[in-house]
Structure 1
Amino acid sequence: MPAMNVPHDRIRAQISNILLAWGMAPDLAATTTEAMAETDLLGVDSHGISMLMTYEKRLHEGVLNLTLAPRIERRTACTALVDGGAGLGHPVSCFAMNLAVDMAMAEGVGVVGVHRSNHFGAAGVYARIAARRGAIGLVTSATRGVTMVPTRGTAPVLGTNPIAFAAPAKRHLPFVLDMATTTTAANKIKVYNLNEKPLPPGWVLDAQGQPVTDSQRGYEIVYDEPEGGLSPLGGTPIMGSHKGYGLAMMVHILGGTLVGSSFSPIRNRTKNGNEPDDIGHFFMALNPTVFRPPGEFEDDLDAVIDELHATPASDPTKPVLVAGEPEDQERQRRLEHGIPIPPALDAHIRAICNRSGAQYVLS
């Protein structure tokens, strides 16, 4: 069966209904709903409404607290450390990015670390907050999963450890780079499985380092098995670049070690019972006006984007794009035509509604 296209407002309502049925504080649920629904609008199906299955599992395991608001633990003029209260990462991440921008507008730069958090969805959603407010934004995060096989290794050690960067332009939409440090995000394997699509070779490798293209088998390797996993960006674990592996380490150092959050392989070995996952995040905002007169940075970025757009295209029907534009174009399409929900995902959402008592509203 083909996917059904669901209007954006119904996706928002469905996410909100479930979060509130789980007992999430209304203000935190509203922030989380907006972040998750925006993620689906941008076409990042791996990190939007489909994450509710994982969040339900974590809630029942007792590692999520859905009632505590973010709390600033320490602060200087341009830095802060925020306690996420063991809640979902969306509310604390919106809070932290906005706090970083506030500092940047006052002091030129703002850096906010978060600890005691959980999965925060798509990193690009928070980088876009900075760009909308006229700042350059950088976001990194540690992860709960252990999915990346390091170069020369056969077993996963690191997570997908995302990084996002956004910069405001004037005539153009912001430049937004949002990427995993593996060849693809782990949750994209879930999306391929839900849609019963084969995986591109090289995304998932088995314990012998061989590519796996069956999405069900790939899902099992990434989520359930101690060997095999996702290849690092830029190469395979056995023969390939150290750069993707090194980039993942850099991201964890900022989003995990610096803020005092856990490293997933150590945490998985040492945690007791339903201890929180203690995922960390890192947010930085820069105010361009401390380097350039107001508007000059944005004008120059527009000129750079114009130059890239003017590059001759290998296929005239597919002009050259810059990072962020595919998501912005998909956002417009989905506002007009709806967000695709495959039958397998719809069945999962119906089951979550039945278990939680939330009203089902997707169809």
Structure 2
Amino acid sequence: MAVGKVTFTKVEREKLAEVLLLLNWISVLTGAILFGLGLFLKVEILKWQEVMSEQGILYVPYMLITTGLAACGINYLGGKICLDCADTNKFLRWKLVMMPYVICTFFFTSCILVGALMCYSFRSQLEESLLLGLRNAMLYYKDTDTPGRCYLKRTLDLLQIQFQCCGNTGHRDWFQIQWISNRYLDMTSSAVVDRIRSNVEGRYLMDSVPFSCCSTFSPRPCIQQKLSNSSAHLNYDQRSQQLNLWRRGCRQTLLDHYTGIMQSIGLTVLLIWLFELLVLTGVRYLQTAMENVIRLGDPDSESDGWILENSLAETARSNFNIIKNLGKCYQVDDDPNINIPTAAAEQEVPSQQVPMLTKHPA
């Protein structure tokens, strides 16, 4: 029994072809939207690429870009096919192309769904990438004279100022690394030398943060140094000075920023997938209805269209049997007739005559 069987008249088939022509042209536009979303996401990721540990997260924008380009090409071809399918004679030119086109469109539509799901599963990988990337960037913050790292100080300062954040998970992360270059330290000072010697790894650690951690909402000049010593500052109370520094870590801030973008893109891609699924269903109905018209031999008669010619169970069983029997054509050991000569073969092989020994008289 066919799945989704619908009967179409000639007028209804023509109307369906016209509607699908319009929907395919709209799908070309949605493909351009997919391409634009992927390009936008790639640019957004590349803005803060330096504070991410790996480039594998770019697979999501690349997936959207590729799917968008494929959508433009496939739906443009689909519009041409649907335009010709309104006429039975023109449909004959596309008859052999229709089934491969439907299959390709099905896999393409599935790729759109995968792209939407990838947008929602992006957060966990991005979180790990930011955690490691920000940690490494902070370690190289002081290396302003090292080629390949000299830009990291500027990148981190811009990041903390623009997103109003400080450190990886918080401003105390700066207490655990040396973020001031040795070239700016006074090595003749006993206090500096003692602080370096007191550290096992020979780092100059202090309870201070870069200027970019200072909050613009601070009611007093920003306090960057000796943050753990409240007696070092006049009228300083840690509980009342929450606005002195950005308290939120940059990892969580960037994660929320990209998550918001990905959720918006994922919702848009999901809506595009539903629209493409509608177009695919219509094309399948048009294909089967026109093929049945050709079988009937009367272009003005009614014809049936369906999504699947048989039920889901029968279709799955049939495909499974096809896959199961793919290699049997190469197995000849089990052929019951392999050792039985045919009549033609017997005629082609001449029988051997055994010579008779004759005795001649003496």
> TM-score category by the smaller chain?
under 0.3
- Which structure shows the bigger proportion of residues in strand conformation? 1
Larger radius of gyration: 2
Task: Compare the two structures and name the one with the higher helix fraction.
Answer: 2
Q: TM-score w.r.t. structure 2 length?
A: 0.18
